[in-house]
Amino acid sequence: IPVGQFETLPFLDPDVKFHANHPPHSQPGDMYVRPPPPAAYPNDPYGRPPERHESASPAISEQEFEEIFQRNKTVSSSAISRAVQDASAGDFASAIETLVTAISLIKQSKIAGDDRCKILISSLQDTLHGIEEKSYGSK
């Protein structure tokens, strides 16, 4: 095996060269970003980085929770009523837009992860799917 700035490895294509001063994970000009070698994560037998857990949303008061939840309930019920009204009039695009917007608003709220908000979102999605099916049938 030739020694010098570049080394050729016999089990590889002879035209493939590795820079002797750089380990494979940091080859200059390498178009693939490779993770550091497994030794970088000694606590895991497979060399994987530790799992990342998103921090929980900051605690909010019961009063703030109730205010947000009531707002989400109002958004949900108003959106469903409006969407059903628009769809009945044949304005499926407006009905769909109303529901998508309501879903987005509730998902962005501080309490989106609460089971009751998930139920609101599920109801909106069910209504959305029903209106989408009707809109396809009307074409």
Each residue of 63-115: pLDDT tens digit? 999 999 999 999 999 999 999 999 999 999 999 999 999 999 999 999 999 99
Spatial distance between the Cα atoms of 90 and 80, rounded to a whole number of angstroms: 15
Q: What is the DSSP letter of 77?
A: H
Pair (67, 133) in one structural domain: yes
In a domain, 23, yes or no: yes
Q: Which domain holds residue 130?
A: 62-137
- Crossing angle between the packed helical segments 62-88 and 92-108, to the nearest 10 degrees: 170
Pair (114, 66) in one structural domain: yes
In a domain, 57, yes or no: no
28-56 confidence digits (pLDDT tens): 554 555 555 555 556 666 666 666 544 45
In this prediction the pTM is: 0.58
Segments in the chain forming alpha helices (H)? 62-88, 92-108, 115-137
Q: Which of 49, 70, 89 is the last residue of a domain?
A: 49
Number of domains in the chain: 2
In a domain, 56, yes or no: no
